[in-house]
Amino acid sequence: MSIDSSKVSVVYVMPGDGWIETRGLAHRLCTAAVRRHGAAMRMGLEVRAVKCRAGATPTVELSDGSTLGADMVINAAGPDAGMLASRSEGVLPIERSLGVSFVSGSAPSQLRHVVHAPGVSLRPDSETRVMMRLESLDSQLVEGQAWTSSDVRCEQVIAGASQVMPNLRHVGIESVRIGIRPIPIDGVSVVGFDPSAAGLYHVVTHSGATLAPILARLVCADLFGSRPPELESFRPDRFVASAPVRGGSSVQSK
């Protein structure tokens, strides 16, 4: 699969433009946390409740009935972060915004860049697949309803994408991925202690992929007590009029 130069006469290459393979990155980070730093992962369990009260150790209750105690609890539950906050008397107004991507079948592909073509965008997905997005389709999504690769809307996507890469028509769409973006109600990232639940720290943003490297550094600095000024505009206190700030204590450096 390649871009057809007889149909696409002008291409602007943005050298800094790129994408992140978020699943692979998350997997590698979790593996490193376990192998290098002794983290423990509890898979397949849901956090049912978070208890964060002033003067008490924060605790997390899991769906297998176990309870974990912690210096503090970090809420990075993405679109479910608002629900998780409400389970601990925290306040976090998060909207859920659905988005759909289409992944081609497997074929040798020469695509190495993000392509923003009229109406459709494309990028590599592994060495042999292409991911396609037709932004106008997002508004047709309904939470809880899956789309399959035989959905009639896939034809619309292939029609647009094959204007740029004609062989996509032969490869077709193999899978449809529907994701949910967490959008804080004012559109701005939320980073910091919840003013209503002592020891509960939120990290929620729509730009979770782009901002992850800088957020990771700033959040670590924040949790160890240095209060980076870059985070001041993003504090959760803004959702609670004149609320007293009741952050948890900083992590003790070991």
Ligand X SMILES: Cc1cc2nc3c(=O)[nH]c(=O)nc-3n(C[C@H](O)[C@H](O)[C@H](O)COP(=O)(O)OP(=O)(O)OC[C@H]3O[C@@H](n4cnc5c(N)ncnc54)[C@H](O)[C@@H]3O)c2cc1C
Tokens of 158: 């292939």
In 3D space, the residue among 207, 15, 3, 246 whose CA is nearest the CA of residue 124 turns out to be 3
CA 3 to CA 162: how far, in whole Å?
9
Residues 158-187 that bind ligand X (CB under 6 A): 179-182
Judged by beta carbon, residue 83 or residue 245, the one nearer ligand X is 83
99 binds ligand X (CB under 6 A): yes
CB of residue 67 to ligand X, shortest distance in Å: 14
In 3D space, the residue among 94, 98, 116, 125 whose CA is nearest the CA of residue 22 turns out to be 125
Judged by beta carbon, residue 107 or residue 116, the one nearer ligand X is 116
Q: Which of 47, 94, 115, 218 binds ligand X (CB under 6 A)?
A: 47
- Residue 224: partners with Cβ closer than 8 Å, 6 or more residues away: 250, 251, 253
Tokens of 111: 């695509």
CB of residue 2 to ligand X, shortest distance in Å: 25
Q: Which of 51, 129, 202, 206 binds ligand X (CB under 6 A)?
A: 206
Phi and psi based region of residue 78 (left: phi greater than 0; alpha: psi -120 to 50; beta: remaining): left
Residues 184-203 that bind ligand X (CB under 6 A): none
4 binds ligand X (CB under 6 A): no
Q: Where are the alpha helices (DSSP H) in 54-164?
A: 81-86, 152-161
CA 102 to CA 176: how far, in whole Å?
5
CA 134 to CA 156: how far, in whole Å?
9
Judged by beta carbon, residue 77 or residue 168, the one nearer ligand X is 77
Judged by beta carbon, residue 116 or residue 243, the one nearer ligand X is 116
207 binds ligand X (CB under 6 A): yes
Contact segment (CB under 6 A) with ligand X among 8-16, 72-80, 114-122, 234-242 equals 72-80
CB of residue 204 to ligand X, shortest distance in Å: 6
**Positions that interact with ligand X (CB under 6 A):** 46-47, 76-80, 84, 99, 179-182, 205-210
